[in-house]
Amino acid sequence: MSEQRADGDREENITETSPLPGGRAADEPPGGDRHLGTDREESDSWATVKVVLVPDGHVMTVAFAIGLSIQELKCHLSSELRVPVEVLQISLDGRAVEDKQSLMELGVRPHSSTRLEMSSTDPTTHPLRPLRPPEHDSMPDVISVRVQTDDGGFQEVVVEIQRPRQQKSFVGGYRHRLTGVEYHHAAIQTLPKRIPERRVVVFSRDTQTAELSSRVQQCPVSVSTQMSGIGCYVSCTNDKLVTPGNYITAAEMHNERLRAVICLQSYVRRWMAWKVVDQLRRGRKLRLDWLELQERRRTEEKEEQLIDRQRRWMNPQRKEDLNLLYHALEKWRSEEEQKINSSMQGAERKAALCLLLDKETHLIAAIGRHHVAVQENNYDRTIREFLNKSGAPHQWLAADGRLIEMDSQFTIRARALQELYNNVNLPAVSEEQRLQVLMTLKHTVKEHECQLTKDIVDLIDREVNLMTLGVKKHNLEGLRKRITTLFLQYIRTPAFNPEVAKLLKVPQNPSQMKNDLFLCRSCRCYRISAKFSPAARSNLSGQCRDCARLNNVSGARDDLSCYKNMLMRLRDNEQRLSDDAKIPFLLQVEDLQYLVEVVWSSCSALQTSSELYHLVFTRWDHKRDWSPWNCILLSKEETSAHLEVQDVHKTYEAEFIQGIEHKHMLAQRHFSSCPIMAGYLVTATLGNNLISKSITMKVKHVTKPAPASAP
How do beta strands 88-92 and 154-160 pair? unpaired
Q: Are 446 and 457 in contact (CB under 8 A)?
A: yes
Q: Which long-range contacts (CB under 8 A, 24 or more apart) does 650-658 make?
A: 656/605
Percentage above 90 pLDDT, the chain: 9
Each residue's pLDDT tens digit, 520-564:
888 888 777 777 776 655 544 577 888 888 887 877 787 777 888
DSSP string, 643-670: TT-S-HHHHS-HHHHHHHHHHHHHHHHH
DSSP code, position 95: E
Of 492, 563, 494, the residue nearest 533 (C-alpha): 563
pLDDT value of position 146: 78
Residue 380 neighbours by CB under 8 Å, 6+ apart: none
DSSP code, position 187: G
pLDDT value of position 254: 95
The pLDDT confidence band at residue 208, using thresholds 50, 70 and 90, is low
Higher pLDDT, 70 or 227: 70
Residue 657 neighbours by CB under 8 Å, 6+ apart: 648, 649
pLDDT value of position 701: 38
How do beta strands 14-16 and 58-65 pair? parallel
DSSP code, position 213: -
The pLDDT confidence band at residue 272, using thresholds 50, 70 and 90, is very high
The pLDDT of residue 233 is above 50: yes
Q: Are 649 and 622 in contact (CB under 8 A)?
A: no
Each residue's pLDDT tens digit, 305-362:
888 888 887 888 887 788 888 888 888 888 888 889 888 888 888 898 899 889 888 8
Of 119, 108, 103, the residue nearest 35 (C-alpha): 103
Work out the mean pLDDT of the chain and round it to a whole number: 78
Higher pLDDT, 559 or 13: 559
pLDDT value of position 470: 85
pLDDT value of position 277: 96
Could you give the CA distance from residue 475 to residue 166 in angstroms, rounded to a whole number?
A: 107
Each residue's pLDDT tens digit, 599-649:
998 888 887 777 787 888 999 988 888 888 889 999 888 888 888 888 888
pLDDT value of position 509: 63
3-state SS of the chain: helix, strand, coil percent to 5? Answer: 45, 15, 40
Residue 455 neighbours by CB under 8 Å, 6+ apart: 486
Q: Are 630 and 620 in contact (CB under 8 A)?
A: yes
Q: Which helix (H) or strand (E) holds 390?
A: helix 346-391
Each residue's pLDDT tens digit, 55-106:
777 777 777 777 788 888 888 888 778 888 888 888 887 788 887 888 888 8
Higher pLDDT, 369 or 695: 369
The pLDDT confidence band at residue 155, using thresholds 50, 70 and 90, is confident
Residue 709 neighbours by CB under 8 Å, 6+ apart: 602, 610, 611, 612
Of 290, 341, 224, the residue nearest 640 (C-alpha): 290
Question: What's the full length of the chain, in residues?
Answer: 711
- For residue 123, say if its preceding peptide bond is cis, omega within 30 degrees of 0: no
Alpha helix (H) residue ranges in 496-647: 510-515, 545-551, 561-577, 583-586, 589-594, 636-642
Residue 609 neighbours by CB under 8 Å, 6+ apart: 603, 615, 635, 638
Specify the amino acid at residue 307: I
Higher pLDDT, 702 or 518: 518
How do beta strands 142-148 and 173-175 pair? unpaired
Q: Are 341 and 322 in contact (CB under 8 A)?
A: no
pLDDT value of position 54: 78
Could you give the CA distance from residue 294 to residue 323 in angstroms, rounded to a whole number?
A: 31
Which pTM value belongs to this model?
A: 0.49
pLDDT value of position 698: 38
pLDDT value of position 560: 79
Higher pLDDT, 460 or 677: 460
The pLDDT of residue 460 is above 60: yes
pLDDT value of position 261: 96
pLDDT value of position 188: 58
Could you give the CA distance from residue 118 to residue 127 in angstroms, rounded to a whole number?
A: 11
The pLDDT confidence band at residue 685, using thresholds 50, 70 and 90, is low
The pLDDT confidence band at residue 38, using thresholds 50, 70 and 90, is very low
DSSP code, position 529: G
Each residue's pLDDT tens digit, 18-36:
444 433 433 443 333 333 3
Residue 711 neighbours by CB under 8 Å, 6+ apart: 309, 559, 562, 611, 612, 613
Could you give the CA distance from residue 161 to residue 137 in angstroms, rounded to a whole number?
A: 12
Q: Are 298 and 290 in contact (CB under 8 A)?
A: no
The pLDDT of residue 220 is above 80: no
